């Protein structure tokens, strides 16, 4: 199994240890000083939009349109349904320990030879460890 060390801007030595073909554990960061992000949940907003419209746009188009809330590109969809978009707190889509490295689902990591598909910040029996699934 592979292992590498990432030194962040505060000179913390973040250890990445491969534990199976597609799974890596990350440790060596201060868990007190981390940012987390959750993916957007469009289900309520899109559901309300579909009730209001006779011929609704596909959800992929709606997801882009609902974020056009500023400037000349401002959308009526954003004004009416934007406040209904929430966070899906059952999933973590971004993890950023103070000093780095910033990681998000869909990001490619050359050292792990793949894209991050899942971030788990609660690994049973391993406090202070983040588990990354790579595809």
Number of domains in the chain: 2
User: Rounded to whole angstroms, how far apart are CA atoms 125 and 18?
Assistant: 17
List the structure tokens of 18.
Answer: 């491969």
Residue 126 and residue 99 share a domain = yes
- Tokens 């534990």 belong to residue: 19
pLDDT of residue 64: 95
What's the domain range around 118? 3-37+90-134
User: Rounded to whole angstroms, how far apart are CA atoms 121 and 89?
Assistant: 12
Residue 82 and residue 53 share a domain = yes
Asked if 97 contacts 10 with a C-beta cutoff of 8 angstroms, the reply is: no
List the structure tokens of 29.
Answer: 């960061």
Report the candidate in 113, 135, 100 with the shortest Cα–Cα distance to residue 26.
100
Residue 96 and residue 83 share a domain = no
- Counted residue by residue, the chain has a size of 135
- pLDDT tens sequence across 85-126: 999 999 999 999 999 999 999 999 999 999 999 999 999 999
Residue 51 and residue 13 share a domain = no
Residue 106 and residue 77 share a domain = no
pTM (predicted TM-score): 0.82
pLDDT of 72 > 90? The answer is: no
- pLDDT tens sequence across 6-27: 999 999 999 999 999 999 999 9
**Of 72, 87, 102, which residue is a domain's last?**
87
β partners of residue 97: 34
Residue 55 and residue 31 share a domain = no
Residue 25 and residue 14 share a domain = yes
Residue 100 and residue 129 share a domain = yes
Following CA atoms 110, 27, 8, 37 in sequence, which dihedral angle do they give, to the nearest 10 degrees? 80
pLDDT of residue 70: 85
Residue 31 and residue 45 share a domain = no
Residue 51 and residue 81 share a domain = yes
């Amino acid at each position: 199994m592979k292992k590498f060390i990432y030194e962040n801007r505060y000179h913390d030595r973040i250890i990445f240890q491969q534990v199976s073909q597609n799974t890596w554990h990350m440790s060596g960061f201060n868990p007190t000083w981390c940012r987390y992000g959750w993916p957007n949940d469009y289900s309520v907003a899109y559901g309300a939009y579909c009730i209001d419209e006779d011929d609704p746009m596909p959800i992929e188009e709606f997801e882009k349109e609902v974020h056009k809330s500023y400037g000349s590109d401002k959308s009526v969809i954003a004004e009416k349904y934007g406040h209904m978009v929430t966070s899906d707190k059952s999933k973590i889509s971004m993890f950023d320990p103070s000093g780095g490295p910033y990681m998000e689902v869909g990001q490619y990591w050359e050292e792990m030879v793949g894209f991050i598909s899942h971030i788990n910040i609660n690994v049973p029996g391993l406090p202070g460890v983040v588990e990354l699934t790579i595809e």
